[in-house]
């Protein structure tokens, strides 16, 4: 158990040790089958790699119940999630095949836990996006994880071999690396993942604001994912536990749209179903431990609906930079390279992107989670050519001025919210 309250992760150390035991058993099973000959062969054989086909909206802790399991998958889909990690479990869990059929029925993809099965024994099918291997591995495991990833790619071409990393507030002992930047770089170089993923749960307390460190973590993921040419996803906090307050809807939005400003291609809530145990006595995830919806269910449903509509455009973007524009720091230098030439006083995060056809995009995020913002914005493009992606429809159309009687383009942003603008090519 982590003693520092800032070092509490989505998965407990005891679960991580279980994952490591499962991983060792998995590798042993493959070796006994003579799999060692092809463990490193996947890249050289030209085996199809995983290609992300939708914006990833997921969570940790699938429903822990035996009751009305199909209805639980329908409930997940109704909240506009796009995939699940793990499957429903209880005292007598429904067969995996039936649960995957329900995923397909409700338009969900699944990452199936590897467990102690050989690659050939893992379930497959149209609903299987890939396989969940391990959470928060120490760097000492990277060589064996590379073998596992290659074996899965050979046995299940085109499927994701999913591994989630520590956040940047993990200790050097937990990482097995000198520092966090080195840890992520080593992981990319040695494991060759198809998706980078990490969990980071910022504090929103008046006496402890963890948001800048969250952004530093996202910047590492942005940099490494661009260098490797793979997408990145991240978990964020959606429940009270330890030193964490219960996030407001604006704080949920802030975590999500900040990730989008850094170029994330997936966001995952911690948690969906409240885990039982001493660490989570308040409950308060999207669903309680006994399966009742909390206020976070409707909040997630609303936010996720917009994400699904923005998703096709978000998937096409390549990050060109991120700028934090703090109050009192609105200068040409602060905006340089952002595709924004002027913005009125406020606190903003500006994500700049390029599209495959040469157009540009700007994700403008209200960094303040307590107050709405109403900035006057100028882009480096003629006003009539600036467009916006609608979170209600996903369509791209000319941006509407929220206060046309005032000079300049007025943009209304709810607390923690973001808006995605599209500009013509330079």
Q: What is the token pair recorded at 298? A: 């409707």
63: tokens are 């429903």
Q: Smallest Cα–Cα separation from 238: which of 230, 226, 246, 250?
A: 246
Domain of 215? 13-315
DSSP codes, 229-285: T--EEEEEE-S-BTTBPPPPHHHHHHHHHHHHHTT-SEEEEE-SBPPPSTT-TT--S
Is 369 exposed, middle or buried (CB count within 10 Å of its CB: 0-12, 13-18, 19+)? buried
Is residue 1 assigned to a domain?
A: no
Say whether pLDDT at 136 is over 90.
yes
Q: 62 with 183, same domain?
A: yes
> Is 106 domain-assigned?
yes
Beta bridge partners of residue 376, listed in sequence order:
410
Residue 320 has pLDDT above 50, yes or no: yes
Interatomic CA distance for residues 338 and 352, integer angstroms: 5
Task: Specify whether 135 is located in the same domain as 25.
Answer: yes
Residues with Cβ within 8 Å of 150's Cβ and at least 6 positions away in sequence, in order, are 38, 39, 40, 41, 42, 43
Token pair for residue 194? 């198809």
Residues 299 and 410 in one domain: no
Confirm whether 3 is domain-assigned.
no
**pLDDT tens profile 259-292:** 999 999 999 999 999 999 888 888 899 999 999 9
Mean pLDDT of the chain: 90
Residue 400 placed within a domain: yes
Residues 195 and 334 in one domain: no
Asked if residue 120 belongs to a domain, the reply is yes
- Retrieve residue 425's tokens: 């090519």
CA distances (Å), 338 to each of 144, 161, 241, 287, 401, in order?
Answer: 41, 34, 37, 39, 20
Same domain flag for 299 and 322: no
What average pLDDT does the segment 390-411 reach? 94
H or E, element range at 355? none
- Between CA 148 and CA 131 the distance in angstroms is 11
* Residue 381 and residue 306 in one domain: no
Supply the pLDDT for residue 283.
Answer: 85
Domain boundary, last residue among 265, 294, 315: 315
On whether both 214 and 343 belong to a single domain, the answer is no
Q: 7 in a domain, yes or no?
A: no
6 within a domain of the structure (yes/no): no
Give the Cα separation of 94 and 364 in Å (integer): 44
Looking up residue 355, the CATH number of its domain turns out to be 2.60.40
Task: Please say if the pLDDT value at position 11 is more than 80.
Answer: no
Question: Both 150 and 20 in a single domain?
Answer: yes
Q: Tens digits of per-residue pLDDT, 140-188?
A: 999 999 999 999 999 999 999 999 999 999 999 999 999 999 999 999 9
Average of per-residue pLDDT across 120-125:
96
Local confidence band at 19 (pLDDT 50, 70, 90 cut-offs): very low
Domain total for the chain?
2
The pLDDT score that the predictor gives to residue 53 is 95
Q: In this structure, what token pair is assigned to residue 81? A: 């999630």
Q: Are residues 154 and 232 in the same domain?
A: yes
Residues 357, 299, single domain; the answer is: no
Same domain? For 220 and 353 the reply is: no
Among 255, 287, 315, which residue terminates a domain?
Answer: 315
pLDDT for 82: 98
Residues 186 and 131 in one domain: yes
25 belongs to a structural domain: yes
The CATH code of the domain that includes 166 is 3.20.20.80
Domain boundary pick from 286, 315, 344: 315
Close Cβ partners of 160 (under 8 Å, ≥ 6 residues apart): 50, 111, 129, 130, 131, 194, 195
- Read off the pLDDT band of 84 (50, 70, 90): very high
Torsion angles phi and psi, residue 164, rounded to 5? -110, 135
Q: What is the pLDDT of residue 92?
A: 82
- Whole-angstrom distance, CA of residue 65 vs CA of residue 80: 21
CB-based contacts of 323: which residues, under 8 Å, 6+ apart? 334, 335, 337, 338, 340, 349, 350, 352
């Amino acid at each position: 158990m982590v003693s520092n309250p800032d070092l509490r992760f989505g998965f407990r150390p005891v679960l991580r040790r279980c994952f490591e035991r499962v991983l060792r058993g998995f590798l042993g099973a493959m070796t006994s089958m003579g799999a060692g000959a092809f463990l490193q062969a996947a890249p050289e054989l030209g085996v199809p790699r995983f290609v992300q086909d939708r914006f990833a909206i997921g969570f940790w802790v699938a429903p822990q119940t035996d009751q009305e399991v199909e209805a639980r998958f329908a409930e997940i889909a109704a909240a506009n999630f796009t995939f699940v990690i793990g499957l429903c479990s209880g005292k007598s869990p429904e067969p995996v095949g039936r649960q995957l059929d329900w995923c397909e029925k409700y338009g969900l993809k699944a990452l199936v836990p590897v467990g102690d099965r050989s690659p050939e024994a893992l379930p497959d099918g149209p609903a299987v996006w890939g396989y969940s291997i391990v959470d928060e591995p120490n760097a000492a495991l990277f060589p064996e994880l590379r073998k596992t990833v290659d074996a899965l790619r050979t046995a299940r071409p085109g499927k994701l071999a999913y591994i989630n990393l520590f956040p940047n507030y993990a200790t050097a002992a937990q990482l097995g690396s000198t520092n966090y930047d080195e840890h992520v770089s080593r992981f990319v170089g040695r494991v060759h993942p198809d998706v980078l993923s990490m969990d980071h749960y910022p504090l929103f307390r008046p006496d402890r604001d963890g948001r800048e460190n969250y952004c530093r973590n996202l910047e590492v993921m942005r940099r490494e994912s661009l260098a490797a040419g793979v997408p990145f996803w991240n978990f964020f906090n959606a429940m009270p536990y330890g030193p964490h307050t219960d996030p407001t809807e604006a704080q949920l939005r802030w975590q999500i749209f900040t990730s989008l400003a850094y170029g994330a291609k997936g966001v995952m809530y911690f948690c969906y179903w409240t885990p039982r145990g001493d660490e989570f006595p308040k409950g308060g995830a999207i669903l309680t431990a006994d399966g009742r919806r909390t206020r976070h269910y409707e909040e997630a449903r609303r936010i996720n609906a917009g994400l699904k509509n923005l998703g096709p455009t978000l998937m096409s973007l390549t990050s060109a930079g991120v700028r934090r524009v703090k109050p009192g720091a609105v200068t040409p230098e602060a905006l340089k390279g952002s595709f924004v030439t002027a913005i009125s006083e406020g606190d903003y995060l500006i994500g700049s992107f390029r599209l495959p056809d040469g157009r540009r995009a700007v994700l403008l995020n209200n960094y303040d989670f307590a107050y709405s913002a109403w900035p006057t914005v100028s882009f480096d493009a003629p006003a009539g050519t600036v467009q916006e992606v609608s979170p209600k429809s996903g369509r791209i159309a000319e941006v509407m001025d929220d206060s046309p009687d005032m000079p300049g383009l007025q943009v209304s942003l709810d607390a923690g919210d973001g808006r995605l603008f599209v500009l013509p090519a330079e």
